[in-house]
């Protein structure tokens, strides 16, 4: 056993590969076993759909038009992506705000406490309030994501901007940089790739809030679809949708990492 | 590595063994009932709190655990086999357990919604005026059904309005606060709080479609067939509370007050909700209704709604895919796939006093 816990262990390629898929295999195997036994007892069971049932669910939601003539998966993905994208767009503005807070003491004095407070509000708990104030449309869903993620990103940018050594700012001053040049040509480019990482790590929270908002009031969207088909226990749609969302998030995460790696290769992480 | 392989082998075997344990059909003595908050189901809460269910269970030498849950999760638990009986409407009984292959028997027809579900609007005169409006409701619930029936009865098609799925926990405060919302369909107690808002009027409710939204006690048919004691104990407890409630007088009021408190309403609010709930107070009334012809006509509306909205399965080829059986032997739908059964035998026993008395 000690052999497995040595810090200088060198697993073979095969061992590494097998171990990395072991947990997936166990999970899928136990699901399939459970599904099999449920189907033995009740052939029409849809609480744990079989793989073929789920594939059929994918076919129906992605390639067959529903009662309203929509290809559900794409319509939902597009709607959710729009909301997510708009929220993300506004969240990017948190970066310059954080930089401003980190560099300009007056700006910090104005925003810091307020953002720290807002950061601590559990976003889901204000969901009903948001819907009452902003109505049931897109605005409240995007606002929910913003309340959850914007303060975090702004505060992180603030921290990183403050971490830039003062000597750099002095040097810039002596070289004739104006205040706003310091912010946007010296500090911001340095911290931007790290901020991309921060945003990447907050994607999960943003997605969670998006789904919560859609489950409350919507006519379309990934979260909406899951909650509506729940009313007739359509796990053969829900599980594929969950997997699809996981894949989308995975791809977005990977894409951001790729952007950092290629465009900001100078960053030694 | 031999060590690694054998470890994996052991894990797989253990895991298979664990997941392979089928629901062993042992002689069972313990049963579970899931209940959720609704005017017509508060008697279950009363029966639980005052030991009535316990008393009846002891008469039959069994144990009944009553679990309080939210509505949809309680039905999901029933479909997953985690509880043996649950309260639900006829629509949910059809499109959740029955269509999922969980053979279910309706033990008690408790009541029908007689105004508990309503369509409320701002600035619209009648149902025809709904054309082109956005209506907030819980999609694919009885509220959706009510809307579609209202539209049908006034010559409109569902495609002429836009349904916005809104979660029931927030539907009332959101509608009250957002004056831009023109229409909402929901149930009590939300209906009562929305009605009190100025500028809001009710243009349709379930009293216009009596008998279509039934509130039932549903039990897993397999469990029932193995052991009828569970069913008899539940039915006995239910009608004991029914007879207590339906009398006039201080005892009834006390019971109603307890139920009102449990549902976070005042006694008057709860009584108001009961007025829009047509309770079948006696086993005769319930049994007669279940044996009549009206129930079949109403269930036909419900099953057609379910089929048209894909609730019987998106691949369902016809409304007959799930069979519904009635006390007189009639079957609506596929007789080879009967999964919802209206069964009056235990209610009849209650009527003729054949349930155990001690």
Q: How far apart are CA B251 and CA B51, in angstroms?
A: 16
Q: Is the minimum CB–CB distance between B78 and chain A shorter than 8 Å?
A: no
Looking at the structure, tell me whether residues A23 and A115 fall in a common domain. Answer: no
Q: Is the minimum CB–CB distance between B95 and chain A shorter than 8 Å?
A: yes
pLDDT of residue B224: 94
Picking from A133, A218, A233, the nearest residue to B79 by CB comes out as: A233
In a domain, A120, yes or no: yes
Looking at the structure, tell me whether residues A104 and A170 fall in a common domain. Answer: yes
Taking contacts as CB-CB distances below 8 angstroms, the residues of chain A near B166 are 136, 216-217
pLDDT of residue B22: 46
In a domain, A255, yes or no: yes
Residues of chain B below pLDDT 70: 1-27, 358
By the 10 Å C-beta count (0-12 exposed, 13-18 middle, 19+ buried), B207 is classed as middle
Looking at the structure, tell me whether residues A173 and A143 fall in a common domain. Answer: yes
What distance in Å separates residue A152's CA from the closest CA in chain B?
27
Closest alpha carbon to A231 in B330, B135, B111, B89: B89
Closest alpha carbon to B311 in B145, B77, B115: B145
pLDDT of residue B189: 81
Picking from A1, A127, A233, the nearest residue to B76 by CB comes out as: A233
ipTM of the complex model: 0.81
pLDDT of residue B5: 67
Buried/exposed A191-200: b ≥16 CB within 10 Å, e otherwise: bbbbbbbbbb
- Which residues partner with B218 through β-bridges? B86, B106
Looking at the structure, tell me whether residues A126 and A25 fall in a common domain. Answer: no
Domain map of chain B by residue range?
30-112+213-351, 117-208
What residue of B is the nearest CA neighbor of A1? B3
Looking at the structure, tell me whether residues A136 and A169 fall in a common domain. Answer: yes
Looking at the structure, tell me whether residues A113 and A41 fall in a common domain. Answer: no
What residue of B is the nearest CA neighbor of A14? B1
Q: Is the minimum CB–CB distance between B100 and chain A shorter than 8 Å?
A: yes
Taking contacts as CB-CB distances below 8 angstroms, the residues of chain B near A219 are 162-165
Inter-chain Cβ pairs, chain A and chain B, closer than 8 A: 112
In a domain, A6, yes or no: no
Looking at the structure, tell me whether residues A41 and A64 fall in a common domain. Answer: no
In a domain, A258, yes or no: yes
Residues spanned by the domain of A33: 12-45
DSSP state of A48: S
CB pair distance less than 8 Å for B101 and A46: yes
pLDDT of residue A131: 87
- Taking CB atoms within 8 Å and a gap of at least 24, the contacts of A17-22 are A22/B8
pLDDT of residue B12: 63
pLDDT of residue A183: 85
Taking contacts as CB-CB distances below 8 angstroms, the residues of chain B near A230 are 72, 76
CB pair distance less than 8 Å for B170 and A234: no
Buried/exposed B273-297: b ≥16 CB within 10 Å, e otherwise: bbebbbbbbbbebbbebbeeeebee
Rounded to two decimals, what is the model's pTM? 0.86
Following DSSP, what letter does each residue of A221-267 receive, concatenated? SHHHHHHHHGGGT-HHHHHHHHHHHHHHHHHHHHHHHHHHHHHTTT-
pLDDT of residue B244: 93
Picking from B162, B165, B180, the nearest residue to A135 by CB comes out as: B180
What residue of B is the nearest CA neighbor of A56? B315
The yes/no answer on whether domain B117-208 falls in CATH 3.40.50.720 is no
Give the tens place of pLDDT for each residue, B164-202.
999 888 899 899 988 889 999 999 888 988 998 999 999
Give the tens place of pLDDT for each residue, A213-237.
999 889 999 999 999 998 888 899 9
Q: What is the CATH number of the domain that holds A113?
A: 1.10.3720.10
Looking at the structure, tell me whether residues A18 and A69 fall in a common domain. Answer: no
- Sorted by sequence, the CB contacts under 8 Å of residue A32 that are 6+ apart come out as A50, A51
pLDDT of residue A152: 95
Picking from B3, B12, B139, the nearest residue to A228 by CB comes out as: B139
* Beta-carbon count within 10 A of B55 CB: 15
Q: Is the minimum CB–CB distance between B24 and chain A shorter than 8 Å?
A: no
Looking at the structure, tell me whether residues A38 and A72 fall in a common domain. Answer: no
Give the tens place of pLDDT for each residue, A178-211.
888 888 888 998 999 999 999 999 999 999 999 9
Average pLDDT value for chain A: 91
Looking at the structure, tell me whether residues A30 and A70 fall in a common domain. Answer: no
Q: Is the minimum CB–CB distance between B20 and chain A shorter than 8 Å?
A: yes
In a domain, A160, yes or no: yes
Looking at the structure, tell me whether residues A135 and A75 fall in a common domain. Answer: yes
Domain pair B30-112+213-351 / B117-208, same fold: yes
- Which residues partner with B61 through β-bridges? none
Give the tens place of pLDDT for each residue, A4-25.
888 888 889 998 999 999 999 9
Looking at the structure, tell me whether residues A81 and A110 fall in a common domain. Answer: yes
Q: How many domains does chain A have?
A: 2
* Beta-carbon count within 10 A of B189 CB: 20
B30-112+213-351: CATH class = alpha beta
Token pair listed for B308: 């048209």
pLDDT of residue B24: 47
């Amino acid at each position: 056993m000690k052999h497995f816990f040595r810090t200088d262990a060198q697993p073979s390629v095969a061992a590494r590969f097998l171990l990395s898929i072991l947990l997936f295999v166990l999970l899928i195997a136990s699901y399939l076993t459970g599904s099999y036994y449920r189907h033995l007892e009740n052939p029409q069971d849809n609480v744990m759909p079989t793989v073929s049932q789920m594939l059929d669910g994918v076919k129906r939601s992605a390639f067959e038009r529903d009662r309203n003539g929509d290809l559900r998966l794409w319509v939902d993905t597009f709607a959710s992506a729009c909301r997510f994208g708009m929220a993300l767009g506004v969240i990017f503005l948190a970066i310059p705000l954080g930089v401003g807070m980190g560099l300009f003491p007056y700006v910090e004095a104005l925003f810091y406490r307020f953002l720290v407070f807002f950061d601590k509000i559990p976003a889901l708990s204000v969901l009903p309030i948001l819907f009452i104030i902003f109505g049931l449309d897109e605005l409240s869903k995007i606002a929910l994501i913003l309340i959850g993620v914007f303060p975090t990103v702004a505060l992180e940018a603030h921290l990183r901007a403050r971490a830039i050594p003062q000597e750099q700012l002095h040097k810039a001053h002596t070289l004739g940089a104006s205040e706003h040049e310091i912010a946007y040509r010296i500090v911001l480019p340095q911290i931007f790739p790290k901020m991309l990482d921060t945003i990447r790590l907050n994607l999960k929270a943003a997605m969670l809030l998006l789904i919560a908002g859609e489950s409350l009031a919507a006519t379309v969207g990934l979260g909406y679809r899951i909650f509506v088909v729940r009313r007739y226990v359509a796990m053969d749609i829900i599980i594929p949708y969950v997997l699809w969302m996981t894949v989308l998030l995975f791809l977005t995460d990977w894409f951001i990492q790729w952007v950092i790696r290629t465009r900001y290769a100078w960053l030694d992480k | 590595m031999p060590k690694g392989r054998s470890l994996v082998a052991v894990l797989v075997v253990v895991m298979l063994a664990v997941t392979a344990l089928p629901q062993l059909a042992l002689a069972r003595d313990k049963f579970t009932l899931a209940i959720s908050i609704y005017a017509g189901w508060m008697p279950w809460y009363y029966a639980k709190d005052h030991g009535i269910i316990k008393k009846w269970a002891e008469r039959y030498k069994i144990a009944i655990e009553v679990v309080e849950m939210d509505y949809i999760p309680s039905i999901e638990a029933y479909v997953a086999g985690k509880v043996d009986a649950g309260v639900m409407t006829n629509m949910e009984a059809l499109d959740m357990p029955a269509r999922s292959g969980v053979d279910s028997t309706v033990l008690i027809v408790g009541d029908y919604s007689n105004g508990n579900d309503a369509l409320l609007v701002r600035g619209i005169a009648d149902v025809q005026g709904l054309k082109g409006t956005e209506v907030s409701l819980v999609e694919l619930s009885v509220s959706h059904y009510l809307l579609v029936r209202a539209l049908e009865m006034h010559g409109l098609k569902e495609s002429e309005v836009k349904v916005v799925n809104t979660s029931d926990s927030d539907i009332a405060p959101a509608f009250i606060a957002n004056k831009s919302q023109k229409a909402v369909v929901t149930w009590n107690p939300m209906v009562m709080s929305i009605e009190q808002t100025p500028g809001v009027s009710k243009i349709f409710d379930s009293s216009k479609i009596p008998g279509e939204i039934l509130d039932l006690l549903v039990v897993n048919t397999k469990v029932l067939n193995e052991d009828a004691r569970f069913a008899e104990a539940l039915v006995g407890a239910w009608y004991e509370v029914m007879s207590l409630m339906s009398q006039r007088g201080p005892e009834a009021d006390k019971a109603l007050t307890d139920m009102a408190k449990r549902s976070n309403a005042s006694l008057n609010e709860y009584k108001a909700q009961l007025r829009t709930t047509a309770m079948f107070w006696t086993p005769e009334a319930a049994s007669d209704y279940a044996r009549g012809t009206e129930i079949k006509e109403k269930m036909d509306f419900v099953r057609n709604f379910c089929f048209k909205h894909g609730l019987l399965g998106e691949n369902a080829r016809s409304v007959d895919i799930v069979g519904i059986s009635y006390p007189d032997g009639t079957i609506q739908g596929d007789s080879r796939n009967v999964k919802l059964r209206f069964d009056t035998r235990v209610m009849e026993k209650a009527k003729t006093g054949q349930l155990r008395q001690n």
